[in-house]
């Protein structure tokens, strides 16, 4: 497995350009816990377990996940990578090696997790009123799961009826006879 997936800085004698790409794309920041807004920082700890422990061989942990070989101190912050893809595509490729029964649960939760979303605001200072409906239409996007369902002819979303009536009670005021 260490020939296909690695979590160590690559030997520059074997491939001179790969160590530079690994340093560029596959290094977890050493100061990642210094920033409380960092996504990996949860309760003062790295949720991805960096820095990783040193070990001489690649093994499996109790939950069936791969614990990669890291033999030197500088390897503790290396994010696992596939040398052939890093070299070929010159970018970070996220991968996960699983070969236990847990793969089914992992795939189910990964494929059917709720879509990514964000909050944003685009404002025009000269405009007094925000058109929230047009705002929604302009920013709606289809996730990978929704696109796959649409490609295979499944209905992605529907609203029946498309318009819902909202009842409201407003105070009624009698108009004066002068108007």
46 or 102, greater pLDDT = 46
Q: How far does Cα 170 stand from its chain's mean position? A: 46
Q: For the CA atoms of the chain, what is the radius of gyration? A: 26
Token duo for residue 19: 């160590």
Pick the more confident residue, 8 or 120.
Answer: 8
pLDDT at 122: 61
Q: What is the pLDDT of residue 176?
A: 60
Whole-number Å distance between alpha carbons of 51 and 29: 9
Structure-model confidence comparison of residues 161 and 52, the more confident one? 52
- Among 11-15, 67-71, 128-132, 150-154, name the most confident range: 67-71
pLDDT attached to residue 32 = 76
Residue whose tokens read 């596959």: 26
pLDDT in tens, 12-23: 777 888 889 999
Task: Give per-residue pLDDT as tens, 55-88.
Answer: 999 988 887 788 899 999 999 999 999 988 888 8
pLDDT classification of 115: cutoffs 50, 70, 90: low
Residue 54: what pLDDT?
Answer: 93
């Amino acid at each position: 497995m260490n020939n296909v997936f690695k979590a160590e800085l690559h030997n520059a004698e074997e491939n001179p350009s790969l160590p530079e790409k690994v340093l560029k794309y596959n290094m977890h920041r050493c100061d990642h816990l210094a920033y409380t807004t960092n996504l990996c920082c949860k309760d003062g700890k790295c949720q991805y377990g960096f820095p990783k422990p040193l070990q001489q061989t690649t093994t499996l942990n109790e939950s069936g996940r791969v614990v990669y070989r890291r033999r030197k101190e500088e390897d503790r912050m290396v994010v696992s990578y596939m040398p052939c893809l890093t070299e070929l595509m010159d970018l970070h490729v996220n991968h996960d090696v699983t070969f236990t029964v847990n793969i089914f649960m992992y795939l189910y939760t990964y494929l059917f997790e709720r879509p990514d979303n964000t909050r944003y605001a685009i404002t025009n200072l000269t405009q007094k009123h925000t058109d929230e409906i047009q705002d929604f239409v302009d920013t709606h996007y289809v996730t990978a799961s929704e696109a796959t369902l649409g490609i295979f002819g499944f209905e992605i979303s529907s609203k029946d009826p498309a318009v819902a009536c909202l009842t409201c009670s407003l105070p009624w005021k009698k108009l004066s006879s002068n108007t």
